[in-house]
Amino acid sequence: MGFSVKSTLKETQSKRSGSTQDRLRVERRRQFPSLTVNWGRADRIPYMKRFLNSAQVNVRYDESATDQGEGDLRDRNLINQSESTEWRASWTGQWRIGPTTRFEVSRSASDDLDYEQAEEDDSGVPRGRPPLRGSGGQERNKTSLDVRYKLRPRHLPLLGKLKSNVDLRFELSLESDVRSSGTGAERPVAISSTNRSKAELKATYSFSESFRGEGIMRFENDRNNITDRTRKVRELRMSGTLFFR
């Protein structure tokens, strides 16, 4: 059925010193699970072969964690801890009659903790895990659709007979990004929140070996949810390039 699965585990540890060995910085990064699944014959689904020449599905999932400490990575010497997860899934298909289509969805999230210097007991030894200095996080989501089609030379109303292929591409994307931050042990609050939507149609055409034309139609909205304002872009552009040989 054309399935392939790949799983990896990666762990790295590094040590970096400053002006003195007493300022040794230790960092450990773990990446697990990291999983990639590929289905190269997704067109074999019953009845789909009638409409598709080929289809492919890709899924990827990553999870990682990082610890930083002063001298070592015991709780009392921690400086920073962070965790992140990300997954991505896509479907690509070549229709028997029509365009090549790609649909993709991705999600990612990360959390970050910064620690103060640990309190010491009467003998000068740090006590347990230090208090929080602050925390932060980020969540990003994206959904996109990409459609490409080559229109072969033919006779069209008003345009007459085409002399070369017309390359058409339509892109649609929806994105959101939220960043949060907190002081001490307080619950993080959003400091940045945006939503972006974009739709673009692009066409290129070679009138001859010496001239190439291009047309773009674009609609874009970029909304800031904190200030409740939206930046709008509306673009219609026609251009031509002349080549001297």
Nearest to 146 by CA among 99, 191, 216: 99
The residues near 159 (Cβ < 8 Å, ≥ 6 apart) are: none
User: Strand 132-151 and strand 25-39: pairing?
Assistant: unpaired
Position 158 scores a pLDDT of 61
Please state the domain count of the chain.
1
Q: Would you place residue 33 in the very low, low, confident or very high pLDDT band (cuts 50, 70, 90)?
A: confident
Domain harbouring 220, CATH code: 2.40.170.20
Position 94 scores a pLDDT of 93
Helices (H) and strands (E) counted in the chain, each on its own, are: 0, 12
The tokens for 37 are 């699944």
Report, as an integer, the average pLDDT of 123-146: 86
Position 50 scores a pLDDT of 85
Helix ranges, the chain (H): none
| Lowest-confidence segment of 67-81, 97-111, 171-185 by average pLDDT | 67-81
Q: State which residues form the domain around 7.
A: 3-242
DSSP per-residue letters across 182-214: EETTSPPEEEEEEEEEEEEEEEEEEEETTEEEE
2 has pLDDT over 70: yes
224 has pLDDT over 90: yes
Query: What are the two backbone dihedrals, phi and then psi, of residue 76, each rounded to the nearest 5 degrees?
Result: -70, -15
| Cβ atoms 182, 188 nearer than 8 A | yes
**What digits encode the pLDDT tens for the residues 147-188?**
999 887 766 666 667 677 789 999 999 999 999 999 988 889
